[in-house]
Structure 1
Amino acid sequence: MAPQVIDHKGGVWSIAVPIPDNPLGHTLVHLLETDRGPVLIDTGWDDPDSWDALTAGITACGFDPADVHGVVITHHHPDHHGLSATMRETSGAWVAMHAADTALVRRSRAAEPGRWLDYVLGTLTAAGAPEDHLEPLRAARAAGRGRKPPGRRAALPDRAIEPGALLDLAGRRVRAIWTPGHTPGHVCLHLEETHPAQQSAPTAARPTGFGRLFSGDHLLPGITPHIGLYEDPDEVAPDLLDRGDPLGDYLDSLERIARLAPAEVLPAHQHAFPDAAGRVRELLAHHEERLTDLRRLLREPLTAWQLATSMQWNRPWEQIPAGSRTIAVSEAEAHLRHLVKRGHVEPVAGSAPVRYVAI
Structure 2
Amino acid sequence: MEQVRPGLWSIPLPLPWAKPAHVTVYVFETADGPYLIDAGWDSDDAFAALAAGLDTVGTSVAEVQGVVVTHAHLDHFGMAGRIREASGAWVSLHPLDNAILSQFENGFATRIPGLMARAGAPAEMTEHLVKGTQAAVRRIPRPDVLIEDGGRPDIPGWELRALWTPGHSPGHLCFWEPANRLLLSGDHVLPSTVVGTPEPDESHPDPLGDHLRALARLRGLDAAEVLPAHEHRFTGLEHRLAEIDAVHQGRLAEVLAGLRAGASTVWEIADHVTWHRPFRNLRGVALQNAVTDTFGCLAALVATGAARVDDGEPARWRLADA
TM-score (norm 2): 0.92
- Give the equivalent residue in structure 2 for 1:327: 289
Q: Is the 8 A contact 1:96 1:161 kept in 2?
A: yes
The letter of the residue matching 1:123 is: L
Q: State the alpha-carbon separation in 1 of the partners of residues 26 and 139 from structure 2.
A: 21
- Give the equivalent residue in structure 2 for 1:292: 253
Q: Is the 8 A contact 1:174 1:189 kept in 2?
A: yes
- Give the equivalent residue in structure 2 for 1:216: 186
- Give the equivalent residue in structure 1 for 2:97: 101
3-state SS of 1:270 partner: coil
- Give the equivalent residue in structure 2 for 1:273: 234
Alpha-carbon offset, residue 345 of structure 1: 1.5
Q: 1:352 to 1:106 in 2, by over 3 A?
A: closer
State the Cα deviation string for residues 237-268 of structure 1 (Å, max 9, x = none). Answer: 8xxxxx62111111111111123222111000
State the Cα deviation string for residues 72-105 of structure 1 (Å, max 9, x = none). Answer: 1001111111111111111111100000000111
Q: Is the 8 A contact 1:184 1:230 kept in 2?
A: no
Q: Is the 8 A contact 2:66 2:89 kept in 1?
A: yes
Alpha-carbon offset, residue 40 of structure 1: 0.7
- Give the equivalent residue in structure 2 for 1:58: 54
Equivalent position to 2:44, from 48, 54, 58:
48
Q: Is the 8 A contact 2:68 2:153 kept in 1?
A: no
- Give the equivalent residue in structure 2 for 1:131: 123
Q: 1:269 to 1:75 in 2, by over 3 A?
A: same
Q: 1:311 to 1:41 in 2, by over 3 A?
A: same
State the Cα deviation string for residues 27-54 of structure 1 (Å, max 9, x = none). Answer: 1111111232101101111121121111
The letter of the residue matching 1:129 is: A
Alpha-carbon offset, residue 319 of structure 1: 4.1
- Answering whether residue 189 of structure 2 is matched by residue 192 of structure 1, we say no
Alpha-carbon offset, residue 318 of structure 1: 4.4
Q: State the alpha-carbon separation in 1 of the partners of residues 225 and 134 from structure 2.
A: 40
The letter of the residue matching 1:256 is: R
Q: State the alpha-carbon separation in 1 of the partners of residues 52 and 3 from structure 2.
A: 14
Residue pairs, 1:1-359, within 5 angstroms:
5-106=1-102, 108-109=104-105, 111=106, 116-135=108-127, 148-150=135-137, 152-193=138-179, 195=180, 211-229=181-199, 231=201, 236=202, 244-299=205-260, 300-347=262-309, 349=310, 352-358=313-319, 359=321
3-state SS of 2:11 partner: strand
Q: 1:63 to 1:319 in 2, by over 3 A?
A: farther
Alpha-carbon offset, residue 10 of structure 1: 2.4
Q: State the alpha-carbon separation in 1 of the partners of residues 316 and 238 from structure 2.
A: 36
Q: 1:350 to 1:338 in 2, by over 3 A?
A: closer
Alpha-carbon offset, residue 298 of structure 1: 1.0
Q: Is the 8 A contact 1:82 1:153 kept in 2?
A: no
Of stretches 29-38 and 333-342 in structure 1, the one that deviates more from structure 2 is: 29-38
Q: State the alpha-carbon separation in 2 of the partners of residues 170 and 261 from structure 1.
A: 23
Q: State the alpha-carbon separation in 1 of the partners of residues 255 and 281 from structure 2.
A: 21
Q: State the alpha-carbon separation in 1 of the partners of residues 23 and 298 from structure 2.
A: 30
TM-score (norm 1): 0.83
The letter of the residue matching 2:141 is: A
Alpha-carbon offset, residue 15 of structure 1: 0.6
Counting aligned pairs with the same residue, the percent is: 38
Q: Which runs of 5+ in 1 are unaligned?
A: 141-145, 196-210, 238-242
Q: Which runs of 5+ in 2 are unaligned?
A: none
3-state SS of 2:294 partner: helix
Alpha-carbon offset, residue 302 of structure 1: 2.1
Alpha-carbon offset, residue 357 of structure 1: 2.1
3-state SS of 1:24 partner: coil
3-state SS of 2:113 partner: helix
Of stretches 214-223 and 157-166 in structure 1, the one that deviates more from structure 2 is: 157-166
Q: Is the 8 A contact 1:83 1:154 kept in 2?
A: no
The letter of the residue matching 2:6 is: G
Larger radius of gyration: 1
Q: Is the 8 A contact 2:257 2:272 kept in 1?
A: no
Q: 1:301 to 1:78 in 2, by over 3 A?
A: same
Q: State the alpha-carbon separation in 2 of the partners of residues 296 and 316 from structure 1.
A: 16
Alpha-carbon offset, residue 136 of structure 1: 5.4
Q: 1:106 to 1:228 in 2, by over 3 A?
A: closer
Q: State the alpha-carbon separation in 2 of the partners of residues 92 and 268 from structure 1.
A: 24
The letter of the residue matching 2:182 is: R
Q: Is the 8 A contact 1:127 1:303 kept in 2?
A: yes
3-state SS of 1:337 partner: helix
Of stretches 31-40 and 129-138 in structure 1, the one that deviates more from structure 2 is: 129-138
